[in-house]
Amino acid sequence: MSKPTLAVYKFSSCDGCQLSLLNLEDELLDLAGAVEIAYFLEARRRTLPAPYDIALVEGSVSTPHEVERIKEIRSQAKNLVAIGACATSGGIQALRNFTNLDDLAMAVYEHPEYLHALPTSTPLSEHVRVDYELWGCPINKYQAVEVIQALLQKRRPNLPTHSICLDCKRQGVVCVMAAYGIPCLGPGTRTGCGVLCPSNGRGCYGCFGPAPSADMKSVVRSMNFVERYPAEVRGLLTHISNYAPAFHQIAETPEVTRNQARGGQK
């Protein structure tokens, strides 16, 4: 019996989520035994023809070519999994969605007319149907293993959606907001990183995107109390997962923008 096939693709991104798969040092060879790694150019030169059972896609859609390419990949994949902050929410490069692309391009390139870029960087789900989403910048590699296993076992993957804040309490990590007065997006952010920032004595900056059940208004209100410099709270919301609707909607409300006049953020 032939093995299920796995394909890994990269769109606009930093490579980090694909690298997370290669960082499965103890599991990589077993994974290559359990599935046929049919397309994964960062890892191998050989490619097998589509269709594929599972396609993992890293990166956001930010060029006209990528708009076409994601449709093609969707049509060739039984299961499409978006991996990482770029694929699930447009990534940090989605900051361009709130500004004029021409201004940004001029800041970096002498001849912006040579570039072939869309004015927006968007998640895969704005273009095609996505079966599962793994959030995170980068993803938690064990969540990737869980999704692959679940798909092979024909069950739903177990991907927790509660907030970081809950896990800090469970693990006995001191609350940086209550104890040190540091704004922390943990109450509004999806778990998955292992409460990294609070356990390093700093506030969460939302790499894993919004927790679906979070009350962002309350999250913002509690952070506003401890803001240390102008527009700090806005900076957290307009960071890695800036284009995730729950973050960018609250980021535009007066409660968040009122400090902006003094601050430097556009």
Partner 1 sequence: MNQDIHIPALARVEGEGALTIRLKDGAIDDILLNIYEPPRFFEGFLHGRHYQDVPDITARICGICPVAYQMSSVQALEAALQVTISPEVRSLRQLLYCAEYIESHALHIYLLQAPDLVGYESALSLAADDPQLVRQALQLKKIGNELLKIIGGRSIHPVNTCVGGFYRWPTIEAIHNLIPDLEWARQASIDTVKWAATLNFPDFEHDYEFVALNRIDDYAIYDGDILSSSGKRISPSDFEKHYLESHVERSNALHSHTADNGTYFVGPLARLNLNYKKLRPMARQAAREIGLKFPLRNPYKGLIARAIELVHVCDLAIELANAYQPVGSSFKEIRLLPGEGVGVSEAPRGLLYHRYVVDEQGFIRFAKITPPTAQNFAQMEADLWALAPSVVNQPQEQASLSFEHLLRSYDPCISCATHFLKLRIHRT
Question: Whose Cβ is closer to partner 1: residue 111's or residue 155's?
Answer: 111
Residues 130-159, interacting with partner 1 (CB under 8 A): 137-138
Question: Whose Cβ is closer to partner 1: residue 138's or residue 209's?
Answer: 138
The end-to-end CA distance of the chain, in Å, is 57
Distances (CA, A) of 18 to 33, 47, 234: 18, 16, 30
Residue from the set 50, 63, 146, 224 that interacts with partner 1 by CB under 8 A: 63
CB 124, CB 7: distance < 8 Å: no
- Answer yes or no whether residue 164 interacts with partner 1 by CB under 8 A: no
- Answer yes or no whether residue 18 interacts with partner 1 by CB under 8 A: yes
What's the gap between Cα 65 and its chain centre?
21
Phi/psi at 82 (nearest 5 deg)?
-85, 125
* Residues 6+ away with beta carbon under 8 Å from 143: 134, 136, 157, 159, 192
Pick the piece of the chain touching partner 1 (CB under 8 A) from 43-51, 143-151, 166-174, 243-251.
Answer: 43-51
State in angstroms the smallest separation of the CB of 156 from partner 1: 26
Q: What is d(CA 225, CA 83) in angstroms, rounded to the nearest whole number?
A: 34
Pick the piece of the chain touching partner 1 (CB under 8 A) from 57-65, 122-130, 163-171, 212-220.
Answer: 57-65
Question: Whose Cβ is closer to partner 1: residue 28's or residue 226's?
Answer: 28
Question: Whose Cβ is closer to partner 1: residue 1's or residue 107's?
Answer: 107
Residue from the set 132, 135, 205, 243 that interacts with partner 1 by CB under 8 A: 205
Residues 173-202, interacting with partner 1 (CB under 8 A): 193-194, 196-197, 199-202
Residue from the set 159, 222, 255, 263 that interacts with partner 1 by CB under 8 A: 263
Residue from the set 80, 128, 165, 240 that interacts with partner 1 by CB under 8 A: 240
86-125 footprint of partner 1 as x/- string (CB under 8 A): -----xxx-xx--x-x-xxxxxxxxx--xxxx---x----
Q: What is d(CA 110, CA 90) in angstroms, rounded to the nearest whole number?
A: 25
CB 87, CB 11: distance < 8 Å: yes
Structure tokens belonging to residue 164 = 């970081």
Structure tokens belonging to residue 149 = 């296993």
Question: Whose Cβ is closer to partner 1: residue 17's or residue 177's?
Answer: 17
Tokens 């046929």 belong to which residue? 36
